[in-house]
Structure 1
Amino acid sequence: MVLNSAYLVIEAIWGVLSHSLALLADAGHNLSDILALGAAWLAHSLARRSPTARYTYGLRRSSILAALSNAVILLLVTGGIAWEAVLRLLYPTETVSGWTVMVVAALGILVNGGTALLLMKGQKNDLNIRGAFLHMATDALASLAVVITGGLVLLTGLQWLDPAISLLISALIVLTTWSLLRDSLDMALDAVPKGIDMNEIDEFFRALPGVTDLHDLHVWAMSTTETALTAHLVRTTDDGNDQRILDTANEMLCTRFGIIHTTIQIETEACNVNCVGADRV
């Protein structure tokens, strides 16, 4: 993160000196990168804290909030970049230094590309790390586009290429960030995490010995890496096998569905009939 911060300062300074909107746009994106890395580190630290009397689940959901804020910040920064690019296209006023743009942006490919490679493995299983990875990967691609723009400006003298490429970079950022925004918003609203089939879980529960019905089946994300489940199972008789069924259910939910935090209540049919306001699924 220190290396990315140092590059941000360098890129912003040379963006102003070279009058390059593409460099300044990339610097703005780099700022969001640093915020993403900081948020990912903070969320990871908070998620490891033990539960308390006030926060009985701990602070695991902070990782979801961090992923959501990363997506929102990135889209806001991108909107500002796009607006400035439109103004520069309509009212061109500055001459861009092609050589400076190429050298500074090439350095950005090395810095952001290297950071993205470090995050590549972890982003597959953690939405928050995925957010930081997307920041770095898109900024590395943006830096490549800026290098090409600097070369074209140097060869052709067409100054409108600088803001035009900025708009293309903005479109790329929106496309790569949209899925992060959607997934993190789903998690914040307690939607069923991706990759989990509720019908399959329903069928699994109903196939357990003696289970005739179930209700109050809920699955949600506790964090960007942990999933929780609650369910009420209805059995015909109390044959003393409740604990064995619970053990089997918990083991299968963990190994087959990746659900590690479960709360399962077993009821008799009589209890189920008298349960007022049961949320049946």
Structure 2
Amino acid sequence: MGAGHSHDAHDHHHGDAGIRAFAWVTLLNLAYTILEAAYGFATNSLALLSDALHNLGDVLGLALAWGAAVIARRKPTETHTYGWRRATLLSPLANAIVLAGFSGALAWEAVRRFFAPPEVPGTTVMVVAAIGIAVNLGAAWFMHGGHDDLNRRGAFLHLLADAAVSLAAVLAGAGMLVFGWRWLDPLTALLVGAVVAFSAFGLLRDSFNAAMDAVPRQIDQSAVRAFLASCPGVTAVHHLHIWSLGAGEIAMTAHLVRANADDHDVFIDSIAHDLDERFGINHPTLQIEFGSGCHDDHDRAPHY
């Protein structure tokens, strides 16, 4: 029975540019969060305070993502043979939990304030929230282009949501300024909580699945199986497993029954290249078997 692994060289580490992006975005959002919270307390605006609390949650999440990106660069060891790249899967999970907690706190305070909405200066709310739009869109630009990285994708989506929330605060400030509608302040906070909860749910689902070694959402496992089964000389495919190793890195193992062939090394290199090009699977491990004692597990329980 022969065994093989892709011999293609892959860069297992995140580039310095990605880490710098996390650093800049984290520090920029922290500075704005402090500014927004200060004005929120000064004006007694729940819209600003709730958005500042939301931004603080994102700052904590971004800090986790930043730390995970740094930790992921650590080289493999005898005890951590894949290195620490899976830290980029745990960070979004923690981020989503933090966001979900903040959304509940915001909703509770907003409902309480509906009974006695305070007087809030609409102009200040508009100006500070407008700064937030610029900050969040600028920070999202730093995160753009890394959507195969769940870590960066989570940060990007949160920053876009923050920009939308800041826009809602601008509109609320305009309503309070022009019409004197003080109830817009807690209403905006309720909307913030809803936006946070919605974004947290999607990220929580994806990050939990990744942490549980689910097949990445963008990959059709049946298509991968069909591709492997169609390769020259392959008569059966079994023990097929696909999972995420970390940001932008997808692993796969498979047993291929290929009895009448002696070009296994060339075959494995060719298949590894095609798996990367077609499906983005860049860490395949293929085991070649000769067929007599092997059985297809397509209709059986997964083998571990």
Match of 1:19 in 2: 44
Residue pair 1:193, 1:220 contacting (<8 A) in 2 also: yes
Query: Is 1:43 matched up with 2:68?
Result: yes
Q: 1:188 pairs with 208, 211, 217, which one?
A: 211
Deviation at 1:49, TM superposition (A): 1.4
Q: Measure how far apart 1:244 and its partner are.
A: 2.4
The gaps in structure 1 that reach 5 residues or longer are: none
Residue in 1 aligned with 2:124? 100
Q: In the alignment, which residue of structure 1 is the partner of 2:161?
A: 138
Shift of 1:164: 0.9
Q: Once the two structures are aligned, what percentage of the paired residues are identical?
A: 46
Q: Determine the C-alpha separation between the residues in 2 that align with 1:22 and 1:9.
A: 15
Aligned to 2:186: 163
Matched, 1:249 2:293: no
Question: After the TM superposition, which of the residue ranges 104-113 and 216-225 deviates more from structure 2?
Answer: 104-113
Match of 1:233 among 233, 243, 256: 256
Match of 1:4 in 2: 29
Deviations 1:23-61 (A, max 9, x none): 000001110221222122211111121111111111111
Q: How many residues align structurally?
A: 276
Moved over 3 A (4+): 277-281
Contact 2:102–2:193 under 8 Å retained in 1:
no
Give the C-alpha shift of residue 2 in structure 1: 2.6
TM norm structure 1: 0.92
| Distance across 1 between alignment mates of 2:148 and 2:84 | 18
How big is the shift at 1:279?
4.2
Root-mean-square deviation (CA), in Å?
2.0
Structure 1 residues 160 and 93: alpha-carbon distance in aligned structure 2, compared to 1, 3 A threshold: closer
**Aligned-residue offset at 1:174:** 2.5
* Larger mean Cα displacement after TM superposition, 166-175 or 194-203: 166-175
Query: Gaps spanning 5+ residues in structure 2: where?
Result: 1-25
Tell me: CA distance 1:78–1:211, structure 2 relative to 1, closer, same or farther (3 Å).
same
Larger RCO: Structure 1 or Structure 2 (Cα < 8 Å, ≥ 6 residues apart)? 2
User: What SS is found at the alignment partner of 1:272?
Assistant: coil
User: Hey, what's the Cα distance between the residues in 2 that align with 1:105 and 1:34?
Assistant: 17
Q: CA deviation digits over 1:240-271, x for unaligned, max 9?
A: 22222212211111111111111111112223
From the superposition, tell whether residues 109 and 279 of structure 1 become closer, same or farther in structure 2 (CA, over 3 Å): closer
> How far apart, CA to CA, are the structure 1 residues paired with 2:38 and 2:265?
66
Q: For the residues of structure 2 that align with 1:190 and 1:278, how far apart are their CA atoms?
A: 16
In structure 2, the residue matched to 1:66 is 91
TM-aligned CA deviation for residue 177 of structure 1: 3.3
When the two structures are superposed, what TM-score results if normalisation uses the length of structure 2? 0.85
What residue is the counterpart of 1:128 in the other structure? 151
Q: Which has the higher helix share?
A: 1
Q: Following TM superposition, by how much is the alpha carbon of 1:202 offset from its aligned partner in structure 2, in angstroms?
A: 1.1
- Residues 229 and 150 (structure 1 numbering): CA distance in 2 closer, same or farther, change over 3 Å? same
